[in-house]
Structure 1
Amino acid sequence: MRLVSVNQLQAGMKLGKKIYNDEGLTLLADGVELTDALIKRLARIDIGYIYIEDSVTDDIVITGILQDETRNQALKVIRNQFQQMSGASGITKGLYHLDKKFSKMMDNILDDMSLQEDPMIMLMDMHTADNYLYVHSLNVCLYTLVLGIAHGYSKEELRVIGLGALLHDIGKTQIPIKIVQKPGRLSDEEFRHMQAHTEIGFQILKEEPNIPLLAAHCALQHHERIDGSGYPRGLTGPQIHEYAKWLGVADSYDAMTSNRVYKKAMLPHQAVEALYVGSGTLYEQKHLELFRDRVAIYPLGLTVKLSTGESGVVVKIDPSTPHRPTVRVLTGPEGEKVVPFERDLSKALSVVIIDVAEQGGSLETPN
């Protein structure tokens, strides 16, 4: 399979991996042949990248952090619960309680992740941008858990930080939908309303009998930044709980790599670079370093150009050196087709990736 930007798709290409909607239901099945109409539909619903079948990379297997069944069930629980809460009265006074399915869901997620020897942050399956809140909540949960596992948290600690990450944006269920889904820049007043989701989320979660208080503090503090520039309280480094610091990195990364109505998604390596701009001011350097070591910045199937002038597709990622993947070279320095061979960048240290298909625009797309 090869990862292709939607604006590079051509009629006749076949979908290599299912696309789900925000309910966890299949929007398009793998193997579907793309038509001009389907390509326009994908662009219209703000999907940025998809995997397509490709004869020279058909051995690439794309696996997610979760099994499909676990992921789809989690999305259904999040969607159903958040929809019920939207506009419901008495929530912040403890008169409305979360479904116990959240705790069971977290156990299922942790069970899935325990099956992986060395889980990494991979580019997630593509979903529609409709009701971005549900998919974002699950993605941030998974990213935060990957970081928590790498940091060495116990299972119980992972359960707490996982619930905090899963429910970090629950306060947005009480923000007017026209603000949450506004396609353009928020006015100052609208932004103040949006900022309130952190305190609202805290008020909701602190009243929950089955949700740890630390999870509520994750909702409260995930927009705090170590230099005091965050909200709602302008806390500085030592005042922010460690869980919220991890969550802040994961939340920012997913926001950057998700396609939205008002902005185009970044590729992972671009988002990591953007995060590093805030090293020591917005985020702890040690948190960013561990994040960098756990994220596949060049996803499997991505077309890249090397400093040798050659171009090819990322076919393997070594968890110990995720920024130095193995590339299957398909074209030579002059753009000529070559007999495919693999170049392991963790060993060929003088060779670096200098461009990706979406940035360069001239790299060869699959036939």
Structure 2
Amino acid sequence: MRRTHISQVHPGDVLGSDIYGVKGTRLLRRGVKLTSSYISLLRIKGVQYVYIDDRHTHDIEATSLISPTVRQMAVKKVYETMTGLIDKKLFLTKISSRDLGLEYQNIFKEMLDCLLTQDSLLIHLSDLFLSKGYLFHHSVNVATIAGVIGIAKGYSTEKLLDLGVGALLFDIGMTQIPAEPWRKRGNLTEAERAIMEEHCFKGFQLLRRQRNISLFSAHCALQHHERYDGSGYPRRLKKDRIHEFARIVGLADVYDALISSRNHRKRYSPQEAAEYLAASGDLLFDYDIIKLFLKYVAVYPVASTVLLNTGETAVISNVFSDFPLHPVVRVIKNPRGEELQRPYEMDLRTQMSTTIVKVLP
């Protein structure tokens, strides 16, 4: 399979991976031959990228840390919680009778089971191709990254659950403010920015009242926009005054936001996002957490299409945690852009003179 922008998908192409919608429900199954109608449906649903199987890349498999079934369940739960809170009259009358904390602990336990059974914890998040429903999928991605970092730090199961619940619900305060500011394209006014900043306190107040949600988890909502140098909000906290869970979630939030397609800007490649984080160490984020995170992020995810310094086009076929900038690539086009009849693989760990110039759309 190879990752392909929706603008480059054509009728007859075969879908290489299931596509899930805003609520976590499956839109199309892997193996479906795409038609003009299917492609139009994906555009309407806000799908930006898909995996396509072709004769050159059919054996390349982009694996995910979280199984599709568990991911679908998690996105659906976040969707139900967030949309229910937006419709406050419907949800707040019922919330006192529900054990929101226990529900989200059970969800993150499922996610944790997936993470703990992986041979490698390399973070591949390029399977998030939706621009609509961003808030719900984003929360699950942030929890996935946070879980990887927590495992790498040697957290106990109890600490991992507190971190995971906080990461899944860190943006819950967005449901308590008007939608206009956070849906707006372009710069916010001072008044709009003040409204936006309220979501941290509102999320904290909401979570701290729930059963089986610890204050540590609630602090993910309160402090995820605080920055290491004191330039964040809402309280301009610095360094260790920011809870470690919030430092982890804040970093995961920014990374996934950068690599996701948004209405107001183009997406960053995983490499560009990783470089941004590396440059912000001990300024915006805790550099020790950044260094740990960078050990586990796949800057060139499997199935990504890249341009080599030779002018050739290739697809990433394998990655290595010890050599993140030197994956195995399958060359599929020559420097003139002509498709090769016999693609070949090149291990960039040994072919040091060949480098990746950029990730292609």
**Distance (whole Å) between structure 2 residues aligned to residue 131 and residue 4 of structure 1:** 20
Amino acid at match of 1:18: D
User: Are 1:348 and 2:356 an aligned pair?
Assistant: no
Tell me the alpha carbon deviations over residues 311-344 of structure 1, each in whole angstroms, 9 at most, x when there is no partner: 3110011222232211012234455536322211
Equivalent residue, structure 2, for 1:228: 230
Query: Structure 1 stretch 201-210 or stretch 285-294: which is displaced more?
Result: 285-294
Q: Deviation of residue 123 (structure 1)? A: 2.2
Partner of 2:86: 86
User: In the alignment, what sits opposite 2:274?
Assistant: 272
Equivalences for residues 103-182 of structure 1 within 5 A: 103-182=105-184
SS in 2 for 1:137: helix
User: Could you tell me which residue of structure 2 aligns to residue 362 of structure 1?
Assistant: none
Kindly provide the CA deviation profile for residues 158-186 of structure 1, in whole angstroms up to 9, marking residues without a partner as x: 11111111110011111123333334443
Q: What do the CA deviations read for 1:122-167 (whole angstroms, capped 9, x no partner)? A: 0242353333211111110001111111222222221111111111
- CA offset at residue 94 of structure 1? 7.3
Which consecutive residues of structure 2, in runs of 5 or more, have no partner in the other structure?
A: none
- TM-score between the two structures when normalised by the length of structure 2: 0.91
Cα distance, 1:45 vs structure 2: 3.8
Q: TM-score, normalised by structure 1?
A: 0.90
Correspondences of 1:1-367 after superposition (within 5 Å): 1-88=1-88, 98=100, 100-333=102-335, 335=337, 337=340, 339-358=342-361
Structure 2 counterpart of 1:140, one-letter code:
V
Quick one: structure 1 residues 272 and 140, their matched pair in 2 at CA, closer, same or farther if it must change by over 3 Å? same
Provide structure 1 residue ranges, at least 5 long, that are not aligned to the other structure. Answer: 359-367
- Per-residue CA deviation, residues 261-285 of structure 1 (Å, 9 max, x unaligned), is 2223222112222223322311122
1:223 and 1:248 in contact (8 A); partners too: yes
1:174 maps to amino acid: Q
The answer on whether the counterparts of 1:305 and 1:353 sit within 8 Å (CA) in structure 2 is yes
| Alignment CA distance shift 1:156-1:327 (3 Å) | same
Tell me, in whole angstroms, the C-alpha distance in 1 between the residues paired with 2:100 and 2:342. Answer: 57
Q: Residues 202 and 220 of structure 1 are in contact (CA less than 8 Å); yes or no, is this contact kept in structure 2?
A: yes
Aligned to 1:364: none
Aligned in 2, Cα 1:124/1:307: closer, same or farther, shift over 3 Å?
Answer: closer
Pair 1:152–1:197, CA change in 2 (3 A):
same
The alignment of Structure 1 onto Structure 2 pairs a total of residues equal to 357
1: distance between equivalents of 2:44 and 2:106?
Answer: 35
Give the direction of change, closer, same or farther, for the CA distance of 1:185–1:131 in structure 2 (3 Å limit). Answer: farther
Q: What is the Cα deviation at residue 44 of structure 1?
A: 4.3
Distance in 2 (CA, whole Å) between partners of 1:187 and 1:157 is: 39
Measured in 1, the distance between the counterparts of 2:324 and 2:20 equals 27
